Amino acid sequence: MNPASRIRRILPPLVFGVAFLLLWEGVVKGFDLKPYFLAAPSKIFEQFFKNFVRIWEATSVSGTNALVGLIAGTVFGVVMSFALSRYRFLGELVTPLAIALNAIPIFVLVAVLNNMYSITSEIPRRIMVSLVVYFIVLVNVAKGLTQVQSTHVELMKSYAASDFAILRKVRVPNAVPYLFTALKIAAPVSVITAFVSEYFGGAQNGLGSRITSNIANSKNAAAWAYVLGACLLGLTFYAVSIVLESAASRGGVASKTNNNK
């Protein structure tokens, strides 16, 4: 992309973003809004840097939960997807369940999970994230393993290739882009789920708990600073998933979308 069109791409969002921040600052200062309503961006940044260490700690706790859940969910999802591609009946069984789970606010299960573990454990949150990630990865990778071009399978069969060989040489390579599509969806979702899970009680070291406690203590600007931390965490996870995807594709097809329409 030549420099001129790159500028053309970046300039409008940049201008909008800066204008929005200025407007926000202006409205808060101009109308003298109370902090419980809106905190000014300048105060938020101030609080962010003041509390940076504590924000970092809380972010690590939530981030670790998200990461552990992301990895566990991906591993289990991939393993199970192989089973689904081998035994089609399992797919028939799992798909309606996955569709239904998509519609419900599944994180409420944390309330149940908290009861099944000790009160200081971070395990319930990690299990919650794993569960959510598991279904995302499962549905996408299973699709990648089963929806291969029939001509490829026919070719392999004409070589008298075994099912396992077809799996290795056709299905798995076909499924790799689907895995990265799933990761791009699952990465930010893992952060959100880890975060929301903290509202249900249990250990209080993560970002979610910090935000509520700051609000309870009327430190609203600080609460906003933690919100900023959460947003940065989510963005980082998403960015990493994109980097992983481009590293894996190396100029090939980047990712296949599940829903084109």
Partner 1 sequence: MNRFARRAAYRTSMFVLSIVLVVALWEMYKVVGPQDGGKLFGAGVLPRSNDTAMPHVWTMLSRYGRPEVRGSDKRVWVVVLAGAWFSFRLAIVGFLLGSSIGVGLSVVMSRFRIVERGLLPYLVVSQTVPLIALAPLVALWGGKLHIFGFEWPRWFSAAVLGAFLSFFPIAVGTLRGLASAPAAAVELMESYAASWKQILLKLRFPSAIPYMVPAFKLGASGSVVGVVVAEISTGLKGGIGRLIIEYAREATADPAKVFTAVFGAAALGLTMAGVIAISDVYLMRNRPKETTS
Residues that bind partner 1 (CB under 8 A): 8-9, 12-13, 15-17, 36-37, 92-97, 100, 102-105, 107-109, 111-118, 121, 123, 127, 147, 187-188, 191-192, 195-196, 199-201, 207-208, 211-212, 215, 220, 223-224, 226-227, 230-231, 233-235, 237-238, 259, 261
Task: Please name the residues in contact with 78: beta carbons below 8 A apart, sequence gap of 6 or more.
Answer: 137, 141, 179
Q: How far is the CB of 160 from partner 1 (least distance, A)?
A: 29
Separation CA 147–CA 142 (nearest Å): 8
Q: How far is the CB of 52 from partner 1 (least distance, A)?
A: 17
Rounded alpha-carbon distances, angstroms, from residue 85 to 58, 123, 146, 176: 40, 30, 6, 14
Q: Are 130 and 217 in contact (CB under 8 A)?
A: no
Structure tokens at 141: 């990778």
Nearer to partner 1, 37 or 164 (CB): 37
Q: How far is the CB of 127 from partner 1 (least distance, A)?
A: 8
Q: How far is the CB of 164 from partner 1 (least distance, A)?
A: 25
Q: How far is the CB of 102 from partner 1 (least distance, A)?
A: 7
Nearer to partner 1, 136 or 207 (CB): 207
Rounded alpha-carbon distances, angstroms, from residue 250 to 181, 244, 245, 247, 253: 15, 10, 9, 6, 8
Place of tokens 């690590």: 60
Nearer to partner 1, 96 or 251 (CB): 96
Nearer to partner 1, 35 or 86 (CB): 35
Structure tokens at 236: 């980082």
